[in-house]
Structure 1
Amino acid sequence: MYVPPHFDEQRKDVLHDLIDKNALGILITNGRSGLDANHIPFHLARNEGSHGVLHSHVARANPVWQDIADGDEALVVFRAADAYISPNWYPSKHEFHKQVPTWNYMVAHAYARATIRDDERYLRGVVARLTRTHEASEPTPWKMTDSSKEFIDTMMKAIVGIEFEITRLVGKSKLSQNREQRDIDTAGQKLSERGEGVVSDAMKIVSAAKTPA
């Protein structure tokens, strides 16, 4: 991924937060059958390994777990949000007429090595953690014991686990950091009015960092 210096995000905690909040990643592999991409929910274990470990599962019918081998490198892409930016939103455009449209976004790329985990104990742990995390905001969170043991046992047999130890994290937050503060503020306000709050709020933080102390 091309990352100009002003868009480079290297803070591990920020990238981990992005992954936690946007858990559906794009798993990109280059196995025996060639390039493949799968959309998979991941659970990030921040304190495992040097950069964290991603835990996941796929349907047993999905060939990806047989197409790659232990130790193979994969890339998992996590996207927080994106928004189109019109040059008409920049006050400087109306003075200099040297602006063009662009797109703002925040992403994290996790380069990782795979380990196939075709064992029930691992799978139950992954499913339980994913469930606890994403059911937490529900009035009555669903848990595996809500279903019969026989049903859950059958479902466990239909999935396979894959663990990804992150070897490198690359982050990019393209939030108009290369623009004047007035341009950032006005574009961020336009996005807020359009309901694009994630990018708008992030741009407010960028603007605040430009404000003299």
Structure 2
Amino acid sequence: MYLRAVHAENSTKALLEFIKSNPLGVITTAISSSNFHFIQSSHVPWVLDEVSDDPDAPIKGHLRGHMARQNPQSKAMIETLSSSGTGTGTTKLEQEVMILFTGRHDHYVTPKFYTETKPATAKVVPTWNYSAVQVYGKATVYYDSAKAETGAYLSKQIRDLSRMCETGIMGYTGENGKSGPWAVDDAPERYVDIMQKNIIGIEVSIENIGGKHKMSQELGDGDRQGVIEGFNNLRSETGVCMAESVKRRGEMKDALKG
């Protein structure tokens, strides 16, 4: 990821918070195989276990997820791990993996928004505003359903993920008149066991993390205000959210300038 200084988020704590707020990440692997594509990606919702927000810490946290066993990316990982001859069924991939998280709102930025520079020089081009965080690390894969630690990992993972999504995303807390969350144990035990055998677990150590909020911080005050007004005039949820992000990130940049 290109991290231009004016857009880069330098706080590890803020990057980890971004992941918690946007838990659906795209995991990318590069595994040599005669049966599957070398580069593969899948959307996976992740549970974050924080370790440290110290940028110099070797491990900043762990991301826990799971994928369908029939996913070609899962098959490629199982293939390379099985061929390693360890026979453990719980193995760390030799290859580094990457997970990309993106913010909920992004939008095209038309040069028509640049109300200062466009009339003065016409030296403007379109761009796209967005937020993203990128993680690199090593993946431990739990794929042998006969192993007790695979069952323990998957049992904890699906319960933690369901609880996180039901309460944090859906707001089903069971408090103040709200309904209670759905829980994995609401489903028949035998059914859950069958479903669990059809997934594999993936735990990724966060060894390197970087991110950005590309929200027109590089612009002068006049053009930035034009972007804010342009987004607000779209009169859409995304437009309003983008306008607020541009305003907030611009104010943060100005505060750093003193």
TM-score for the superposition, normalised by structure 2: 0.76
Give the secondary structure class of the aligned counterpart of 1:9.
coil
Describe the shift of the 1:192–1:120 C-alpha distance in structure 2 as closer, same or farther (beyond 3 A): farther
Does residue 179 of the first structure (1) align with residue 219 of the second (2)? Answer: yes
Give 1:3 deviation, angstroms. 2.0
Other-structure match for 2:55: none
Q: Which amino acid aligns with 2:251?
A: A
8 Å CA contact 1:77, 1:109 repeated in 2: yes
SS at 1:50's partner residue?
coil
Secondary structure at 1:6 match in 2: coil
**What's the C-alpha RMSD, in Å, of the aligned pairs?**
1.9
Q: For 2:6, what is the secondary structure of its paired residue?
A: helix
| Contact 1:185 1:207 (8 Å CA) reproduced | no
Q: Secondary structure at the match of 1:123?
A: helix
- Name the structure 1 match of 2:87: none
The within-5 A match list for 1:47-62 is: 47=51, 50-62=59-71
TM-score (norm 1): 0.92
- The CA deviation at 1:147 is 1.0
- The answer to whether the aligner puts 1:124 opposite 2:167 as a matched pair is no
The count of corresponding residues between Structure 1 and Structure 2 is 213
Instruction: Quote the residue 1:11 is aligned against.
Output: 11
Q: Residue 23 of structure 2 aligns to which amino acid in structure 1?
A: A
In structure 2, runs of 5+ residues without a counterpart are: 53-57, 82-91, 144-149, 173-178
Deviates more, 1:140-149 or 1:160-169: 140-149
DSSP 3-state at the match of 1:10: coil
Local SS of the residue matching 2:202? strand
Cα drift, residue 131 of structure 1: 0.7
Deviation, 1:15, is: 1.2
Tell me, yes or no, if structure 1 residue 133 matches structure 2 residue 189.
no
SS at match of 2:29: strand
Instruction: Work out whether residues 65 and 162 of structure 1, in 8 Å CA contact, stay in contact via their aligned partners in 2.
Output: no
Amino acid at match of 2:222: R
Q: How far did residue 42 of structure 1 move?
A: 1.0
- Counterpart of 2:243 in structure 1 is 200
Encode CA deviations 1:104-134: one digit per residue, 9 max, x unaligned: 1111110110101231111111111111111
User: Which of 84, 106, 111 is equivalent to 2:108?
Assistant: 84
Q: Deviation of residue 66 (structure 1)?
A: 4.1
Deviations 1:158-213 (A, max 9, x none): 11101100110021211111101232222123223332243322211122232686
Who is 1:42 aligned against? 46
More off after superposition, 199-208 vs 152-161: 199-208
Look up the SS of the partner of 1:108 in the other structure.
Answer: strand
Alignment partner, residue 115 of structure 1: 140
Contact 2:29–2:98 (Cα < 8 Å) also in 1:
yes
Task: Determine the C-alpha separation between the residues in 2 that align with 1:189 and 1:46.
Answer: 38
Choose 1 or 2 for highest CA Rg: 2
| 1:158 aligns with one of 172, 187, 198 | 198
- Which blocks of at least 5 consecutive residues in structure 1 are unaligned? none
Q: Secondary structure in 2 aligned to 1:109?
A: strand
More strand by share: 1
Alignment of 1:101-112 (within 5 A): 101-112=126-137
